[in-house]
Amino acid sequence: ITGTENKTVAFMGKGKTMESQGITDYVADPALIIYKLTDGAWGVYRTIDNWGDATGTENISTVDGEEGITLPVDASEAAIVLDLAPGSYSAILTSTEATAKEALVEAYEIPATDETSRFLGISTRGLV
């Protein structure tokens, strides 16, 4: 996130949601760890396992209906909405499963009236 203002970002770690796209070997219970780069070192900023664990403005249901966003279909998938200060962040998806399976990590900028900061979204899928 560059600029001077905070940005609202939705992070999602999906497994079962991919079933509708024909993916059957997915991570059943993904969790997300959000890292922030501070003083040259990466540190844990926030963790989320089941999206229903996030409360208030951090709950993913607060962005339902935003353009381009598909909410997770299963409560065991990870999702959170965060208000982030300018800086570098990384989202890592984890799993407790013993074998590698597919998962999807998504990050979306939630539109705001402020245009002094910039965020570019990314979505990636891989074995976890």
Q: Please provide the DSSP assignment of 27-55 as one string.
A: -SS-EEEEEEEETTEEEEEEEESSGGG--
Q: What is the tens place of the pLDDT at every residue in 71-113?
A: 999 999 999 999 999 999 999 999 877 788 999 999 988 876 5
**Which structure tokens are listed for 55?**
């409360």
Q: Which helix (H) or strand (E) holds 90?
A: strand 89-94
Q: Which helix (H) or strand (E) holds 78?
A: strand 78-84
Phi, psi of 16 (to 5 degrees): -55, -30
Predicted structure pTM score: 0.86
Indicate the average pLDDT of the chain.
87
